[in-house]
Homo-oligomer: A and B are copies of this chain.
Amino acid sequence: MSEVSRRKLFGMAGAGAALVGTGAAVGFGIDRLNGGNPAQAAVTTVPFHGEHQAGIVTPAQPNLHFAALDVKTKDREKLVKLLRTWTEAAKRMTAGAEVVPGGAYGGAKEAPPGDTGEALDLPASSLTLTIGFGPSLFDDRFGLAAKRPAGLIDLPLFPKDKLDPARGGGDLCIQACADDPQVAVHAIRNLVRLGFGVTEVRWSQLGFGRSSSTSVTQTTPRNLFGFKDGTRNIKAEDTDALRDQVWLTAEDGQPWMAGGSLLVVRRIRMHIETWDREPLAGQEAIIGRTKGSGAPLGQTNEFDEVDLHVGGKDGEKLVAEDAHVRLASHETLNGAKILRRGYNFVDGSDGVGHLEAGLFFLAFNRDTRKQYVPMQQALSAKDAMMEYVQHTGSAHFAIPPGVREGGFWGEGLF
């Protein structure tokens, strides 16, 4: 009774592209009418085209599937062709359609279906797809060395890092965010499938519960330490901060990256069982905020300005020298901010009685050397929170600018 929603959508729109970029809410409402999955009731379509890629300042959707891939060919033309193919596929899927035309099983029975099918009855679900290029893509395979952004460094090993090579690096990345995890998983799977013979999955990560809001229209979510996270995050509405701290321009040295950004990825295991044994006062001192309202210590409400100097009755500063908010604040980092867009995760258990839980940290900045790196150096060296976290995965990607009509992901690079 509902298997044709993705097919019909495209049929109604004539060519599908008519829907792309409009941002209009399209009424599917299948499961909503039937009292089914509320997560599937979301009817929003996020425009694919634009000056910047979607999935950066787009209000953070609640579900993530992130994949890092390696390129298995040295043939530059094959890579370019795949990027063109992926762009068309992403335009379709973010509009709520199948990955390729005719994938809805009306076609030849003798061939594998064009679309794998698990999102066939589901709406667009605010799906965004964001692509990135890792440092290793700029080696000698494709002649891209001269086009590597200066800020796309090989990330240093920070104090206390315990990185798993199976959870780091990658020539390419695709970030899929959506209101429904099945829509995000479907998108990654079908892009990976289109890449057979050219790319293969290096590692992948699911996440939920967006650990930061990216718009003033969203309430601040809580991470798995139970604290509101990202209160001071750069928001979509703060155009000055985006201009200064997120988007690259030609002056950053690589004109093809103008309108793009740099993405730092860190898989941060949280030792939640240990954290949960810490008294409330201790938790709040480590963070530098109250757990209930999220107000900075010494203040009343979540969005009150952080005052790093306010003293308590004993003369000690209320926000401790090793508090997370102090060390991560732009006041102590020469004004540096980042745009965080991470997710919580639970990857089963660790085999010794604990949940394998944490924060999959995703942060966009303009120059990682001047923003993320000094921030993380301060945190990994001094943050009281380091007793409860461990960085187990790390990657870095150049996020090219958005795609114009008729263009393709990373066109300016090739």
Contact = CB atoms under 8 A, between A and B. Distances in A.
Interface stretch (A47-55, A114-122, A154-162, A313-321): A114-122
Given A276-B112, A279-B109, A291-B113, A200 B34 contact: no
- The main secondary structure of chain A at its interface with chain B is loop
Interface string A345-375: 0111101011101000000000000000000
A209 interface: yes
B210 A37 contact: yes
A226 interface: yes
Nearest to A119: B222
Contact of A204 (B179, B203, B346): B346
B35 A217 contact: yes
Nearest to A201: B349
B65 A37 contact: no
A335 to B, nearest CB: 28
Interface stretch (A79-87, A181-189, A249-257, A401-409): A181-189
A397 interface: no
Interface residues of A, number: 98
Contacts of A387: none
A45 interface: no
A2 B208 CA distance: 20
Contact of A203 (B31, B107, B226, B348): B348
Given A1-B219, A118-B224, A276 B179 contact: no
A348 B206 contact: yes
Contacts of A204: 346, 348-349, 355
A182 B222 CA distance: 9
Interface string A107-144: 11111110111111100000000000000000000000
Contacts of A116: 224, 226, 272, 276
Given A277-B112, A294-B3, A62 B37 contact: yes
Contact of A2 (B120, B219, B353): B219
A3 B63 CA distance: 22
Contact of A278 (B112, B228, B294): B112
Contact of A280 (B59, B113, B201): B113
Given A112-B278, A348-B206, A118 B1 contact: no
A41 interface: yes
Contacts of A42: 38
B223 A118 contact: yes
- The complex is assembled from copies of this chain, and their number is 2
A182 B209 contact: yes
A59 B105 CA distance: 29
A215 to B, nearest CB: 8
A15 interface: no
A208 B222 contact: no
Given A39-B39, A189-B357, 15 more contacts: A3-B292, A31-B219, A37-B179, A39-B179, A63-B181, A105-B280, A107-B280, A112-B279, A117-B225, A117-B226, A118-B224, A120-B292, A121-B222, A188-B355, A204-B355
27 contacts: A1-B301, A3-B294, A3-B302, A36-B213, A37-B221, A38-B38, A39-B39, A104-B292, A105-B290, A105-B291, A112-B279, A113-B280, A113-B291, A116-B276, A117-B227, A118-B223, A118-B225, A118-B226, A120-B222, A166-B351, A181-B208, A181-B209, A185-B209, A200-B353, A201-B355, A204-B355, A205-B348
